[in-house]
Chains A and B, each alone.
Chain A
Amino acid sequence: MDVMPKWADVVLIPVISLVLAALLSTLVIVAIGEDPVAAVKLMVTGALGSTYAWGYTLYYATNFIFTGLAVAVAFHARMFNIGGEGQATLGGLGVALICLALPWPHWALALPAAVVGAALFGAAWAAIPAWLQAKRGSHIVITTIMFNFIAASVLNYLLVNVMRPTGSMDPATAKFPPGAHLPTLHDLLAPFGIAFSRAAPANISFLIAVVACVLVWLLIWRTRLGYEIRAQGHSEPAAVYAGIRPVRIIMAAMLVSGALAGMMAINNVMGEAERLVLNSVEGAGFIGIAVALMGRNHPFGVFLAAILFGFLYQGGAELALWTNIPRELIVVIQALVILFTGALDNMVRMPLEKLFLALRKDRA
């Protein structure tokens, strides 16, 4: 018997954790001599107050959905893929190569090709640590994190020495051709008479991220592969008993995970920057870990958590812009959210379980 009803587990605990994180953040803001009420107001208007604000929040959220899903899929096989950063970096390389290879006539042709390129490069980058784990037992946490550094160095080398247009001083590729520019939410919503900010970077990738959530859900809970991934994740001896090959599952889960992380690049590289620059991932790979943690590795949870982190990211940027609250404080707030929803989960869970138990006893 489960102690708590499911809604308490999925909704109540994260909400309470968030409230606690918010309270502590308030204390920190007070401590540095700023007005917490004004700060919250600024964050909310800055992240949700206009279509421009929403455009940024959703743009960040899109990144986090992809990297969050990547962590979640790997985690169902009980692997901790910390390499989202590197896989997304390589995904960017894939996108850039595809976009620059042809004078694309229309984004509708460029986008599917870029999705494939991003997924392939991301998956390939995850494949090496996966292989080392499956065949040599090298721990995936160690190898994926090391591959983040290798990815950054590889990209650095390529941008400076190979892909930089002659004469440019900037370690970045050339601009992608206009046919490879993705429609923004402004472009997509205009036909429906909805005026969405033209300047905001949110683009069609957001819809692809939503589709990815649905596909991941189907994969994990409806397909044989998902069944085997979950079985292997819960108990490897049982999986072997059932004739599931661990090597195959490790490879499959990590390839899907890497592909999802790589696909983030269609948002930030193709949709926003429209060229490949250094450090384009900006830590989204790591935030994906927090997003998956908070979203309980469920695609819908990942979606919600990604929106929340998009809000924190955009709201935080606004705070740094308009107040004396330093940008680092935003990192502190994000860290508090991660701390409370992840590491201190039991702190909220235990008293709640006791409470529900007491309630049940009274009823009985």
Chain B
Amino acid sequence: MAQGRQTDVAPAIELRGISKAFGPVQANKDISIRVMPGTIHGIIGENGAGKSTLMSILYGFYKADAGEIFIAGKKTSIPDSQAAIRAGIGMVFQHFKLVENFTVLENVVLGAEEGRLLKPSLAKARGILKTLAAEYELNVDPDAKIEDLGVGMQQRVEILKALYRQADILILDEPTGVLTPAEADHLFRILENLRAEGKTIILITHKLREIMAATDTVSVMRRGEMTATIQTSQTDPEHLAEMMVGRKVLLRVDKKPAQPGKTVLEVENLRVVDEDGVERLKGVSLNVRAGEILGIAGVSGNGQSQLLEVLGGITHGTGTVRINGQEIDLTGRHSDGQSRRARGICHVPEDRQREGLIMEFTAWENMVFGYHHDPAYQKNALFMDNAGIRDLAADKMARFDVRPPNPVLAAKNFSGGNQQKLVLAREIERNPDLLLVGQPTRGVDIGAIEFIHQQILDLRDAGKAVLLVSVELEEILSMSDRIAVMFDGRIMGERLPGETDEKELGLMMAGMDTKAA
């Protein structure tokens, strides 16, 4: 609790000289930061810059190797999350920590029950929730089950949980990753209300736009170090990007006009039912032409993943899919990744660590992953040509600027951006007719984003078809030649990037037909 309120000038949180190493990796190096009470303080940095480590130290998940934590001017040690909660710190994680089949009320009370009986706690919580809802626009039905709520609502439950524990300091880790633009706007309104009530908010994000829109102060992290803390009003996105990466970056994509050719991919009435019997694709029709990028926008979980998976041969589906005019098998023996590759479809999957790469394999082993049956990679009938693959991988890694360019290093030892370059090098160098790309720049540092976008554009300009799925609207708007919006397993409509904006796409992503309105 905030007994430190009376000392108004003291920072809500002050970290002094925090350092933390994981093995040889120095995740945080001598970090000092002051977060003033009643402000929204943004922390921005590339993946692996050490933002999450720092917050985990603050929340008692990790113990710092060195350094001190002051809460409201008082030196505090935070050995575990219980201590963090006692110190008035609440955390909203990127991946929610809610019990799916509990109600909102039960989740809020969980871990903060008082006494032996549950009923009084629940009754008390119900009253508090009502007050909180009125105060901060945090309306959630207390008796709804979590599994029946959308992600935006679930996030509100996380915030309520923190407030119920009387948090004065709220840390949000990449809170908008799963939200529609409208939901994100609502979240920022809630944060402003919280600030108005004197709460302190730390917003961790890699989205420059959110920092500019929502924060009072911003701290930039790079490679484990705090490089700058400045007033948001005194900076701009270009400057922030430069501080994050350490050099000037191009935030816009330079591209030539598309020259679409013949239709490469035709999809008609494609349906996918998942293992639980839920229909995830409800009759999708679309086509992609040579030399064009079709961008699929949508909040994650609306069927984009299933679309990529069924086209990439990972899951089965029904309907008609033609590639270069020839129908492909969607269910039978010839529906797997191997046969898709044989038909000229290459696939950069959404989750490179889970699907695109074998993290324990070396870079060269990964460089033929999925193509390991190619006769070019065999020494003879029995054995693979490991030495040859190694040399070939070294070439491709050099061409795609993978750092370090060492083919015998395991994939897990590369950074997110370089792992993605490994996957792209493998898939693009196969010169596919159709490239399926999911979340090409998720978790990729800004410096590498430019390069990855350029590689995809080069493939398009070479007359290949590209199907791009991304939850980053900016990426969809800047990369696509046409945009299709998916909602609830259906295509809500198609737009041209020059004739639409984030607002319209955002409405479509939320399931509203803008043409009808």
Q: What is the interface of chain A, defined by CB distance below 8 A to chain B?
A: 1, 3, 218, 222-224, 227-228, 230-231, 234-235, 237-238, 240-245, 353, 357, 360
Interface check B515, CB cutoff 8 A: no
Between A and B, 12 residue pairs with Cβ closer than 8 Å are A3-B24, A218-B383, A222-B386, A224-B384, A227-B372, A237-B354, A240-B314, A241-B347, A241-B349, A243-B370, A245-B336, A353-B23
In the bound complex, what is the Cα–Cα distance between A238 and B24 (angstroms)?
Answer: 28
Query: Is B337 a contact partner of A240 (Cβ separation < 8 A)?
Result: yes
Q: How far is the CB of B316 from chain A (nearest CB, A)?
A: 12
9 tightest A-B CB contacts, nearest first: A243-B337, A243-B338, A242-B370, A241-B355, A222-B383, A243-B336, A234-B358, A3-B23, A234-B360
A223 engages B312 (CB within 8 Å): no
In the complex, the answer to whether A241 meets B312 with C-beta atoms within 8 Å is yes
Complex-state Cα separation, A218 to B379, whole angstroms: 13
Once the chains are docked, how many angstroms separate the CA of A231 from the CA of B378? Answer: 17
Is B365 in the interface zone, CB < 8 Å from A?
yes
CB distance from A234 to the nearest CB of B (A): 5
Q: How far is the CA of A1 from the CA of B409 in the complex (A)?
A: 9
A243 and B313 contact, Cβ closer than 8 Å, known pairs A222-B384, A223-B383, A227-B365: yes
Point out the residues of chain B lying under 8 angstroms from A230, CB to CB. 358, 361
Determine the chain B residues whose CB is within 8 A of the CB of A242 once the complex forms.
337-338, 369-370, 372
A1 CB contacts on chain B under 8 angstroms = 23-25, 413
Per-residue interface assignment for chain B, residues 377 to 398, with 1 indicating a CB less than 8 Å from any chain A CB and 0 otherwise:
0100011101000000000000
**Contacting pair B372 A224 (CB below 8 A):** yes
Set of chain B residues within 8 Å of A241, measured between Cβ atoms: 312, 314, 337, 347, 349, 355-356, 370
List residues of chain B with CB within 8 A of the CB of A244: 337
Tell me the nearest residue of chain A to B309, going by C-beta.
A241
Minimum CB–CB distance for A6 against chain B, Å: 12
Q: Is B122 an interface residue (CB 8 A)?
A: no
Q: Does B340 contact A (CB under 8 A)?
A: yes
- The answer for the CA separation of A119 and B365 in the assembled complex, in Å, is 31
Contact of B359 (CB < 8 Å), options: A228, A235, A353, A357: A235
| C-alpha spacing A235/B353, complex, angstroms | 9
CA distance A230 to B339 in the complex (A): 21
Once the chains are docked, how many angstroms separate the CA of A1 from the CA of B406?
12
Q: Roughly how many angstroms separate A38 CA and B264 CA in the complex, as a whole number?
A: 80
Task: Tell whether, in the assembled complex, residue A357 and residue B354 are in contact, meaning their CB atoms are under 8 Å apart.
Answer: no
Name the residue among A218, A222, A223, A238 with the largest chain B CB count within 10 angstroms: A238
With an 8 A cutoff between CB atoms, is B464 at the interface?
A: no
B119 at the interface (CB under 8 A from A): no
Q: Are A235 and B358 in contact (CB under 8 A)?
A: yes
When distances are taken between beta carbons in the complex, the residues of chain A under 8 Å from B349 are 241
Contact B24 A224 (CB under 8 A): no
Instruction: Determine the chain A residues whose CB is within 8 A of the CB of B25 once the complex forms.
Output: 1
**How many Å lie between the Cα of A333 and that of B336 in the bound state?**
50
Q: Considering only CB atoms, which chain B residue lies closest to A235 in the complex?
A: B358
Q: Which residues of chain B (337-354) have a CB below 8 Å from chain A?
A: 337-341, 347, 349, 351, 354
Other-chain contact of A357, B24, B365, B373 (Cβ < 8 Å) = B24
- CA of A281 to CA of B357 in the docked complex: distance in angstroms? 41
Separation in Å of the B303 CB from the closest CB of chain A?
18
Closest to B349 in A: A241
Q: Known interface pairs A1-B24, A242-B337. Does A228 touch B383 (Cβ–Cβ under 8 Å)?
A: no
Bound Cα distance A245, B373 (Å): 13
Q: Give Cα distance in the complex from A244 to B373, angstroms.
A: 10
Once bound together, how far apart are the Cα atoms of A245 and B335, in whole Å? 11
Contact A223 B382 (CB under 8 A): yes
Q: Which residue of A lies closest to B24 (CB)?
A: A1
Residues from chain A with a CB closer than 8 A to the CB of B378 are: 224
**Complexed CA–CA distance, A1 and B22 (Å):** 11
| Bound Cα distance from A237 to B369, whole angstroms | 13
Q: In the complex, what residues of B have CB within 8 A of residue A227's CB? A: 365, 372, 384
From B359, B372, B386, residue with most partner A Cβ within 10 Å: B372
Which chain B residues border A357 with CB–CB below 8 Å? 23-24
Tell me which residues across on chain A come within 8 A of B24, comparing CB atoms: 1, 3, 357, 360
Given contacts A3-B24, A357-B24, 19 further A-B contacts (CB under 8 A): A218-B383, A222-B383, A222-B386, A223-B382, A223-B384, A224-B378, A227-B372, A231-B369, A234-B360, A235-B358, A235-B359, A237-B351, A238-B355, A238-B357, A241-B355, A242-B337, A243-B370, A244-B337, A357-B23
- Shortest distance in angstroms between B260's beta carbon and chain A's nearest beta carbon? 29
Point out the residues of chain A lying under 8 angstroms from B337, CB to CB: 240-244
Q: How far in angstroms is the closest Cβ of chain B from A362? A: 13
Decide: A238 and B356 in contact? CB cutoff 8 A: yes
Query: Which residue from B23, B372, B386 sits with its C-beta under 8 Å from A228?
Result: B372
Partner of A224, one of B312, B359, B373, B413: B373
**In whole angstroms, what is the CA distance A242 to B341 when docked?**
9
> Smallest CB–CB gap between B305 and chain A, Å?
12
Bound Cα distance A222, B312 (Å): 27
Is the pair A238, B358 in contact by a Cβ cutoff of 8 Å? yes
Residues in B neighbouring A243, C-beta threshold 8 A: 313, 336-341, 370
Question: Once bound together, how far apart are the Cα atoms of A211 and B340, in whole Å?
Answer: 39
A13 CB, nearest partner CB in chain B, Å: 16
Distance, CA A230 to CA B366, complexed state (A): 12
Q: Which residues of B contact A222 (CB under 8 A)?
A: 382-384, 386
B residues 381-428 in Cβ contact with A at 8 Å: 382-384, 386, 413
A353 to B21, CA, bound (A): 13
**In whole Å, how far is B199's beta carbon from the nearest beta carbon of chain A?**
40
Min C-beta distance of B320 to chain A, whole Å? 22
Contacts of A353 in B (CB 8 A): 23
| B-side contacts of A238, CB under 8 Å | 354-358, 369
* Structural contact, B358 and A231, CB atoms closer than 8 A: yes
- In the bound complex, how far is the Cα of B365 from the Cα of A234, in angstroms? 13
Which residue in chain B gives the minimum CB-CB distance to A3?
B23
A353 to B382 alpha-carbon distance, docked (Å): 39
When the two chains form their complex, are residues A234 and B373 in contact, meaning their CB atoms are under 8 A apart? no
Question: A44 to nearest B CB, angstroms?
Answer: 39
Q: How far is the CB of B155 from chain A (nearest CB, A)?
A: 26
Taken together as a complex, chains A and B put the C-alpha atoms of A28 and B384 apart, in Å, by: 51
